[in-house]
Structure 1
Amino acid sequence: MDADAVIFELYGLRPADFTRARDAYVAQARREKDTAAAAAIGGLRRPTLAVWAVNLLARTRPDLAEALLRLGTELRRAHRELDGERMRALSHQQHQVIGALSAEAAQLAAGAGERLRETVLREVGEIFHGLLGDDDAARGWAAGRLAKPPPVTVGFQGLEPAPGATPPPVTPAPRTAPVSAPAPAPTPTAPARTAAAREGAAEASAALRRTEQRLAEAAAARDRAEGEAADLREELSAVRQRVEAARQAVRETKQAYRRAEQAHSEARRTAEKAARRLEEPARRGLTRGRPIADPHRYP
């Protein structure tokens, strides 16, 4: 069994159809004695509705997926080079691109029979934001095989400024100091500015990493809760199907009982009619015959 092809197919299915198809492929792999494929496929968790929607976008609109990949590459380069002006411009572009991709994903999902609620749309936007900072996850998503949401990030985890990178010089605005003003403080030298910038960037990166860790833990907890909720929904659906089947069986049993009662009533009426027909000749004979005289009345 081609496990990669099966995995690609499974992540293209709607979440409601995922578990049944996965279990069928696992059973087939076991029948074929393909333990590796059975393990690889059996370990897949059902994707959330948001993950399915972004995978649908990547499969349907690869041009949009490539645009997000390019934007992520440019954002990471600007971060490494400490190019604040470029970062601000790309950040504005990022919000526009994520908004457009989220709207397109919602439209594609609706066309496939799934209407995305507001909470799911927010998750879709968070996934696109996370993909900008995670190149590996972005590549998997562009191939239509994203398995779970990437960690929610504030910046770019694991990306430090490039060695020797310095922020672009800031030209101070000219000003005329009052005559009575004290002498201005000495202007920091370029190496000092560089060291301060690196120290600030390191502190910001550490703060971002702490924030990202907390967000990642919250996202993992959310994923676990969604998975458990999905399993419970499947169990509830199965119970409802069994209850409906039992109700149908009760209805059919009642109908059969009513038919049996009707048949019994008809059989009883038929038997009564037959008995009356058998008794009629005897009654007619008694009516036509004359009574025998009592021999003791006439000597």
Structure 2
Amino acid sequence: MDADAVILELYGLRPADFTRARDAYVAEARREKDAEAATAIGGLRRPTLAVWAVNLLARTRPDLAEALLRLGTELRRAHRELDGERMRALSHQQHQVIGALSAEAARLAAGAGERLRETVLGEVGEIFHGLLGDDEAARRWAAGRLAKPPSVTVGFEGLEPAPGATPPPVTPTPRPAPVSAPAPARTPAAPARSEVDRGTAVAKRAAEEHRSRTAAAREGAAEASAALRRTEHGLAEAAAARDRAEGEAADLREELSAVRQRVEAARRAASEARQAYRRAERAHAEAGRTAEKAARRLDELTRGED
């Protein structure tokens, strides 16, 4: 069995159809004695509706998936290089891209028969945000095989700047070429001093701009880290709520199964009671007929004796 092809097919199914199809493929792999495929397929977890929607987008619109991959590469490069100005520009772009991708995922999901609620749309946006910081997860998603939302902690907060990275250098204003004295003079100090002062002023301005850009880069990185922490907290709360809901749903399914079993047992008991009642009726009728025969026979015997 081609496990990779099966996995790709499974993650293209709607979540409601995933578990039944997965278990069927596992059973088939076991019949074929393909233990490796059975293990690989059996270990797959059913994707959430949000994960299915983003996978659907990657499969249907690979051009949009590639655009998000490029944006993630640029954001990670800007973070490593402490390029605050570039990070701010890309941050504005990422909000626009994520909004457009979320809307397209909702449209495609509706076309496939799944209407995404606001909470699910929020999860979709968070997944796209996480993919920008996790290149490995982004590659799986682009192939339509994302199994679960990427962890936000894998994003830019854990991406350290490259060793020795500094903000892009500021190009200082070129100094004018020194002017040669027309003739030897005993005191050329004034012109030389002027050149030194100009060079010093240029260097100071460059240093100030350098410090300003560094501070801006650090400020941008701090803002991004704070935003990621807030997002991580929100995702943790959402995941906890989802786990609670899934647990309650599992309990309800078990309770429903027990009720169905009791109903089925009651139906069987009622059927058996009806059959016993019919048997008793037949036995009663047979006993009546036997009694009538006995009465007639007794009557005949009595008349014979007379």
> The TM-score by the shorter chain falls in which range?
0.5 to 0.7
Task: Indicate the larger mover: 206-215 or 260-269.
Answer: 260-269
The structural deviation recorded for 1:81 is: 0.7
Q: Distance in 2 between matches of 1:210 and 1:266?
A: 83
Change (3 A) 1:267 1:44: farther
2:154 is paired with a residue whose SS is coil
Task: Indicate the larger mover: 54-63 or 145-154.
Answer: 145-154
Give the conservation status (yes or no) of the 8 Å contact 2:79–2:221.
Answer: no
Q: Distance in 2 between matches of 1:181 and 1:120?
A: 77
The structural deviation recorded for 1:251 is: 12
Q: Distance in 1 between matches of 2:6 and 2:292?
A: 71
The structural deviation recorded for 1:102 is: 0.5
Q: Distance in 2 between matches of 1:14 and 1:30?
A: 24
Give the conservation status (yes or no) of the 8 Å contact 2:54–2:105.
Answer: yes
Determine if the alignment matches structure 1 residue 7 to structure 2 residue 32.
Answer: no
The structural deviation recorded for 1:120 is: 0.6
2:58 corresponding residue in structure 1: 58
TM-score by length of 2: 0.63
Q: Distance in 2 between matches of 1:252 and 1:226?
A: 39
Task: Indicate the larger mover: 221-230 or 98-107.
Answer: 221-230
Give the conservation status (yes or no) of the 8 Å contact 2:130–2:152.
Answer: yes
Task: Indicate the larger mover: 82-91 or 171-180.
Answer: 171-180
The structural deviation recorded for 1:222 is: 3.9
Change (3 A) 1:70 1:188: farther
The structural deviation recorded for 1:45 is: 1.1
The structural deviation recorded for 1:252 is: 15
The structural deviation recorded for 1:147 is: 0.3
Q: In the TM superposition, what whole-angstrom CA distance separates every residue of 1:212-268 from its partner, at most 9, and x where no partner exists? A: 589568647746854874796698599779979999999999999999999999999
Q: Distance in 2 between matches of 1:186 and 1:231?
A: 100
Q: In the TM superposition, what whole-angstrom CA distance separates every residue of 1:158-197 from its partner, at most 9, and x where no partner exists? A: 3111122223579999999999999999999999997998
Q: CA RMSD in A?
A: 9.5
Change (3 A) 1:84 1:193: closer
- Equivalenced residues, count: 284
The structural deviation recorded for 1:273 is: 23
Change (3 A) 1:215 1:67: same
Task: Indicate the larger mover: 206-215 or 253-262.
Answer: 253-262
1:74 corresponding residue in structure 2: 74
The structural deviation recorded for 1:157 is: 3.9
Q: Distance in 2 between matches of 1:276 and 1:188?
A: 160
**Which 4+ stretches in 1 moved above 6 angstroms?**
169-211, 237-280, 286-289
Give % identity.
Answer: 90
Give the conservation status (yes or no) of the 8 Å contact 1:152–1:219.
Answer: no
Change (3 A) 1:38 1:187: farther
Give the conservation status (yes or no) of the 8 Å contact 2:134–2:150.
Answer: yes
Q: In the TM superposition, what whole-angstrom CA distance separates every residue of 1:112-156 from its partner, at most 9, and x where no partner exists? A: 011111111111001000100100000000000000111135951
Change (3 A) 1:207 1:95: closer
2:158 is paired with a residue whose SS is coil
Q: Distance in 2 between matches of 1:222 and 1:144?
A: 23
Q: In the TM superposition, what whole-angstrom CA distance separates every residue of 1:5-56 from its partner, at most 9, and x where no partner exists? A: 1111100000110111011111111111111111111111111000000000
Q: Distance in 2 between matches of 1:190 and 1:39?
A: 85
Q: Distance in 1 between matches of 2:286 and 2:190?
A: 110
Change (3 A) 1:179 1:274: farther
Q: Distance in 1 between matches of 2:185 and 2:118?
A: 53
Q: Distance in 2 between matches of 1:167 and 1:182?
A: 43
Q: Distance in 1 between matches of 2:292 and 2:186?
A: 125
Give the conservation status (yes or no) of the 8 Å contact 1:153–1:215.
Answer: no
Change (3 A) 1:53 1:85: same
Q: Distance in 1 between matches of 2:297 and 2:103?
A: 84
Task: Indicate the larger mover: 2-11 or 235-244.
Answer: 235-244
Change (3 A) 1:154 1:137: closer
Change (3 A) 1:117 1:142: same
